[in-house]
Structure 1
Amino acid sequence: MSLTQPQQKRFKALAAEIEGIDVDVYERFERDPLEPIIGLGKPNLRVGFFGRDPGREEVRFQEPFIGAGGQLVRKALYERLYGEKMPDFEASRAVGEHFFWINTVPYKPVGNKAWSMKVKRHFHDLMNEVLISCWEGESLITLGREAFLWFGIGRSKEERDRLEAFWKSDERFESSIEVTLEDERGEARTFRLYPLPHPSPLNQTWYARFPELLKNRLEQLDVHLDNLAI
């Protein structure tokens, strides 16, 4: 599944209005800094991943979740599906085809710092539309606090408080929570979020535990080769 032409144009227009895109990295790899990096996938894939934003390797390959943190995710997916260690980088790219990929802002920020709330709001309506219209699944593994709390943007204080309380609970990486999103066209979908910590090597608190936490989530969601599509 790819973006529609109008969606592609809207992303480029929105990106042209902000500062903070890491233009130097895009230039190094001869990539267009206004081109959104969204993985998407087949619309009928059962499980999706919702992350923060792309990094250097994502710019280089024009694929999301392909850098150090993404490789940690893909290794776990490969082992879950095939029962053996992931052999190489190309295998990591191929295993991604079985899942839907999306993030809060589809552009690499300078210094890999999380985008401001202002920028996340700037893209929110369009990312919301993409999530609702381009995918038929409902189970989303969110990676990190920024990705999880994105689902509270533009919502009521009660809903934001509900998500904040869930994130603060000790069971957040074992339990799940339902959220209903509505886009500007009035189309609504309900998703179930399965939060995990951010898989960055810089996340010292959770990095070592991440593979086991993801393995447990994949078991929870009954992920296997015969159960990848709706």
Structure 2
Amino acid sequence: MSDINTLITQIYQEAQREPFPIDTPVYEAAKKDPTQPILYAGNLNSQICFFGRDLGRDEVHAGQPLIGAAGTLVRRGFYWAMHQKQAKTPAELQTVCDRLLLTNTVPYKPPGNKAYSVAVKERFRPFIEQLLVIHWQGDQLITLGTEAFKWFSPYGKKGELDQFFQRSDRYSAKLAVTLEATDEFQLRHQRQIMLMPLPHPSPLNQRYYGQFPQMLQQRLNEFEF
């Protein structure tokens, strides 16, 4: 089985194969190659994964998913769940990466703040599948926002995720799905994971932004730290 660096190289090669929208000026400002993926941060052996939509400017500069305003809210909440106190320094906050995995539907930053098209998401889906099924060892996945949750639609029964997302308790209930991935030898792998959706913790999400820290703690209360 290939290692995670091989997967990152494969994504890089795919990005170079054919152009797609990338916020190139942000990568240039960060002195980064726009086609070099920022696939994940954290520990592949962790129980919990946080799954977002795509990268922002702060993520490109830091070379890590979920480290901007929204991601910091997630990281602070996770630190609190671990220690029952606030992180005092950025270095302290970074220690959450020992206990979780952070990734996105696409390991690149789209121009502006627009989500990637379905075509781009599908182009990179096989690589994200490999990350989640073959390389990550956990099975509890917290999605952040509608786009991130609906990325998993192909793995449920027809219409199952849409029905689930219409439930009033969608941000406290769970849904089991079976992910599939094909490795470089064309062997199929399957693994069941538990989806636990939360709203996106963006300051622009006025409906849920203020509630998000409490909603996150309710999710994390189910785990042992």
Matches within 5 A, 1:10-159: 10-16=10-16, 17-153=18-154, 159=157
Query: Structure 2: any 5+ residue segments left out of the alignment?
Result: none
Separation in 2, partners of 1:78, 1:218: 11
Answer yes or no: is 1:183 the counterpart of 2:184.
Answer: no
Q: 1:182 aligns to what SS in structure 2?
A: strand
Residue 174 of structure 1 is aligned with which of 172, 175, 190? 172
Per the TM alignment, residue 218 of structure 1 is displaced from its structure 2 partner at its CA by: 0.2
Separation in 2, partners of 1:197, 1:25: 26
Question: Any idea what the Cα deviations from partners look like across 1:81-113, whole Å, max 9, x if unmatched?
Answer: 111122132222222221012210010111121
The residue type equivalent to 1:170 in the other structure is: S
Answer yes or no: is 1:204 the counterpart of 2:206.
Answer: yes
Per the TM alignment, residue 188 of structure 1 is displaced from its structure 2 partner at its CA by: 0.4
Deviates more, 1:90-99 or 1:118-127: 90-99
Does the 8 A contact of 2:41 with 2:65 survive in 1? no
Does the 8 A contact of 2:46 with 2:99 survive in 1? yes
Deviates more, 1:4-13 or 1:121-130: 4-13
Question: Any idea what the Cα deviations from partners look like across 1:169-228, whole Å, max 9, x if unmatched?
Answer: 1110010000001112311010000100011111111111110100000002x241xxxx
Answer yes or no: is 1:164 the counterpart of 2:158.
Answer: no
Question: Any idea what the Cα deviations from partners look like across 1:23-44, whole Å, max 9, x if unmatched?
Answer: 1000001011111112243332
Does the 8 A contact of 2:4 with 2:135 survive in 1? no
RMSD: 1.7
Per the TM alignment, residue 78 of structure 1 is displaced from its structure 2 partner at its CA by: 1.2
Residue 213 of structure 1 is aligned with which of 204, 212, 215? 215
TM-score by length of 1: 0.90
Separation in 1, partners of 2:12, 2:37: 7
The residue type equivalent to 1:9 in the other structure is: T
Question: Any idea what the Cα deviations from partners look like across 1:125-151, whole Å, max 9, x if unmatched?
Answer: 111011111111100011111111111
Does the 8 A contact of 1:66 with 1:93 survive in 2? no
Give the number of aligned pairs.
219
Q: 1:205 aligns to what SS in structure 2?
A: coil
Query: Structure 1: any 5+ residue segments left out of the alignment?
Result: 225-230
Deviates more, 1:48-57 or 1:84-93: 84-93
Q: 1:183 aligns to what SS in structure 2?
A: strand
TM-score by length of 2: 0.92
Q: Which residue of 2 aligns with 1:9?
A: 9
Moved runs in structure 1, 4+ residues, more than 4 A? none
Separation in 2, partners of 1:124, 1:41: 20
* CA spacing shift, 1:199–1:160, aligned 2, 3 Å: farther
Q: 1:148 aligns to what SS in structure 2?
A: helix
Separation in 1, partners of 2:194, 2:206: 27
Does the 8 A contact of 1:18 with 1:119 survive in 2? no
Does the 8 A contact of 1:80 with 1:223 survive in 2? no
The residue type equivalent to 1:179 in the other structure is: V
